[in-house]
Structure formats: structure tokens, C-alpha cells
Amino acid sequence: MKRVVLCRPGGPRNVGSVLRAALNFGATEIVITSPARPSLLIHPDFALMSHGGEEARDMIRVVDTLEEALEGTHHAVAFTGRTRKKTRRVDWRERAPDLRAIGDSDEQTLALIFGNEETGLTKEECDLAQELVHFRTAAEHTSLNLAQAVVVALYSLFTGTKVHEHEPEPKRVDGRGRAFLRARMKEVLAGGVARTESAAADVTSMIDRMMTRTPLEPRDARAWHLILNALGSSSEPADFGLGGQEKGARRRDALQRRLAQEVDADHDAPGSEEP
């Protein structure tokens, strides 16, 4: 379980954005300590930035101290842009993979602690965390907006797969279709368009590389065939020894195979032989 802890946040926009990020990436709790504005969660900017998440406002708790916010947690990580004399900060990218198991656990709670937008975390707040982490940034800009920092942290820990689990895979041209297009392109582009032998050799080599390495979708093949038609080609697969395939041939062949299997099954069944 993941708990986002916001220490003394000042902006309703940031808190609304944090709620939205929590709904996106699976944090189950948000705890706010001593918010700067009592009206934080009813402010119009909160509703605007949570973008429908204001209905999930019940997942937000407000407490007085960080000690209260951390009650029931098993491991606490504090995000800070400042170096500390006694505690070494670790690059978040190095720690996130090891902390995903805690974040996904139903029996343990991982606390992610973030400080105030302007002042960050105090020394006392950092001392309550088991470890300090930071986001590596460009030297010219060393801090992130509060909501942005929460988004980066939660996204790094997110392992959910239910949404967009089955993205449609693009169709690919089969081997026969690829061979036909390759032969036709060589005939037209290398055999007709190229003006010299060396140009024809270059074009042929290009076609071979493209057909070997490049994923080819049916729409790509159709576009190429239209180009070749416009260049005057009327070749068919049979012209290259590939053999034409009449419409419905695959379905007919499959039906014939199934009928043949049924006949064989009837012949092998007990009692099917003639006396």
C-alpha cells in the first residue's frame, strides 16, 4: 500500500493534482499535515485540478503532525532537494525498483513524504524517515513542483496492468505478400526507374534491406502497390512465380481440410467398417 504524505502544503491546485495522480497510479491514501489553508479541500482550484477526483476526497486525511501521518506505516521515504549532513540522499531511480514490493503489498504501507512547496521538508521531518531520496535534475533547475514530484514518484512505483492491457497489435503482411511486393518493387524501381547499373544495384540493395528489417503493415503494402501502379506496373504474383490465390481460397481450403478430417474420423470410428 502507498501513502502520500504532504507536509504543510500551501496550494489547493497542487493538492488537487496530487489526488488525481493518486487515482491514476494507485496510491490508496493521502495524508496532509497542518495545511497552510483550512479551505484547501473545498477550494475551487482543488476541484479544478483533481479533475473529477474531488469525489474521492475521502481518501484524504488531515492531521496535525508528521508522526500522526506516519502511524501504521512500515517504511518511510522523504523526498528532499537539500543535502543533509548526517544522512545520505539516494537517487530515487535507484530505490524505486526495490520499494515496489512494499508499495504493492496489502500487508505493508510505504509512506512517501513531500514537503511544503516553498520551504520543503524540515530537518525534523526528514529525521522521521528511514531514508532520504532525491530526483536527479539539471543543474540549472534543481527542484520540482510538488504535484510533479508526486507524479514522478507514483509513476515509478506503479505496476498495474488492467488499463491498456491489450493494446491492439498492428497486422503484418504475410511472407507471400512481402515477396510479391519485393519482386514488384525491384522490377519497377530497379528495372525501370534506375538509369544506371550502379543505381539499380543501390535500389535493389535498399529494397532488400527494407523488406528484411522493416515491419510491413497491409496499409503500407497497399500504398506501395498504388505507387507502382502509377508507375505503369500491372504485374501479378504469378508473374514472379508466386502463384495467384483466388478470393476465398483460404476459406475453401480450410473447409476441405475439415471435411477430410471428419471423413477420416468416421472411418476410424468403431463399427464404421463394412462387413
Sheet containing strand 29-33, strands side by side: 60-63, 29-33, 2-7, 110-114, 75-79, 131-134, 89-91
Arch. (CATH architecture) of 2-157: 3-Layer(aba) Sandwich (3.40)
Whether pLDDT at 258 is above 70: no
What is the structure's pLDDT at 210? 87
More confident residue, 161 or 79: 79
267 pLDDT tier (thresholds 50, 70, 90):
low
Q: Where in the chain is the domain with CATH 3.40.1280.10?
A: 2-157
What's the mean per-residue pLDDT of the chain? 83
Using an 8 Å Cβ cutoff, are 3 and 110 in contact?
yes
Over residues 25-70, the pLDDT tens digits come to 877 799 999 887 778 887 888 888 887 666 677 788 999 999 999 9
For residue 247, pLDDT over 60 is answered with no
Q: Cβ distance 175 to 183 under 8 Å? A: no
Joined together, the cell numbers standing for residue 146 give: 510538488
Residue 98 CA: distances (Å) to CA of 92, 156, 259: 10, 11, 57
Residue 250 pLDDT greater than 60, yes or no: no
Q: Please tell me the predicted confidence (pLDDT) of residue 228.
A: 93
Q: What is the pLDDT of residues 73-104, one digit of tens each?
A: 999 999 998 777 777 889 999 999 999 989 88
Per the DSSP assignment, residues forming a β-bridge with 78 are 113, 132
d(CA 152, CA 48): 21
Alpha carbons 60 and 54: distance in angstroms, whole number: 10
pLDDT (mean) for 163-191: 81
Mean pLDDT of 180-194: 92
Kindly state the percentage of the chain with pLDDT values over 70.
83
pLDDT of res. 198:
94
Per-residue pLDDT tens over the stretch 100-144: 989 888 888 999 999 998 888 999 999 899 999 999 888 777 778
Q: Which of 84, 75, 8, 17 is nearest to 47 (CA)?
A: 17
Average pLDDT over residues 172-184: 88
Residue 151 banded pLDDT, cuts 50, 70, 90: very high
For residue 200, the model assigns a pLDDT of 93
- What's the confidence (pLDDT) of residue 263? 55
